[in-house]
Amino acid sequence: MAEMTIRDALNAALREELIRDENVFIMGEEVAEYDGAYKVTRGLWKEFGDKRVVDTPITELGFAAVGVGAAMAGLRPVIEFMTFNFSILAADQIINHAAKMLYMSGGQFNIPIVFRGPNGSAYQVSSQHSQALEALYANFPGLKVVMPSTPADAKGLLKSSIRDDNPVIFLEQETMYGLKGEVPEDDDFTIPLGVADVKREGTDCTIVARSFTVPQALQAAEIMQKDFDVSVEVVDPRTIKPLDIETIANSVKKTNRLVIAEESHSFASVGAEISHQVLENAFDYLDAPIKRISTAEAPMPYARNLEVAALPSVEKIVAAVKEVCYL
């Protein structure tokens, strides 16, 4: 095992896949000479050159379209959006072309493409740069949606996404790039898509958290154990679509209580879908209503104190666990 940041784990995954498969290439704004806006592609242009690490103009619709065409021709593009907020400009290519091409071509064209970049809030980047967009893309058949929360997950899931023959939306949390953790040193280390991970075992309450809220959920679990002798299980879906509802439901059947913590807004969210599927699969096991923690239903404020107030927090998650445990 090697300790590295999420940023470095993603960089290692990209480098290993560029070496492994000559059809893999990276394209996006400032990914080459500048080493990437968040330095995820650091050093790759110098090692692999202009044809494998390609700088683009500021034209998301354009380079997303080039990526879709390249995937149709047999290449495996990794398209970086400087922030996933900018992917909205390329939504036609992602939703109407990448997601639908296999179906509309009668199975003639696979689209092995990864759209990746930072998702969710950062530090005071205001409303237009602070959106968690996973529910938007998960709504469309044909797209897989992945959200890692640890360096090991980031590396293993990105490698699997690049090798997948379907379009994958790979969402990295902007404030988590510097998070450190142990990563297997095996160059062929992968994590299959569609498999959740139990980050902490527990018996009294389940927290389902993803990306931004996973470290918060783990801190909340520690507080509940120390201060209230409540054993909390933390489940990270890792892949939003396909969703491993079996692991989540089995956890709820064990603990009988569920809190869902997510960075996105609550209306029509992934948390809402998880709630519904848990009710379908584990309703008789619930001893309390499901409680959801989400970002405030408002555009993200610029002021730091208001931004903190709008986002999920350890304190909000602890309060929710206490509520479902009737404490």
Could you list the active site residues? 60, 129
Cα 116 to Cα 64, 161, 192: the distances in Å are: 11, 10, 17
Separation of CA 313 from chain center: 18
Spell out the residues 6+ positions from residue 15 whose beta carbon is closer than 8 angstroms to its own: 43, 44, 47
Ranges of beta strands (E only) in 111-204 are: 114-119, 144-146, 168-173, 180-183, 197-200
Q: How far apart are CA 60 and CA 76, in angstroms?
A: 18
Of 84, 271, 255, 238, nearest in space to 157 by CA: 238
Residues in the chain: 327
Picking from 50, 91, 94, 46, the residue whose alpha carbon sits closest to that of residue 71 is 94
* Helix (H/G/I), strand (E/B), else coil: 56: coil
Classified as helix, coil or strand, 205 is: strand
Annotate 257-321 with DSSP letters as a single string.
-EEEEEEEESTT-HHHHHHHHHHHHHGGG-SS--EEEEE-SSPPPSSHHHHHHHS--HHHHHHHH
Could you give the CA distance from residue 13 to residue 156 in angstroms, rounded to a whole number? 7
Q: In 3D, which of 193, 191, 194, 188 has the Cα closest to residue 17?
A: 188
Q: What whole-number distance in Å separates Cα of residue 156 and Cα of residue 183?
A: 9
- Check: CB of residue 287 under 8 Å from CB of residue 323: no
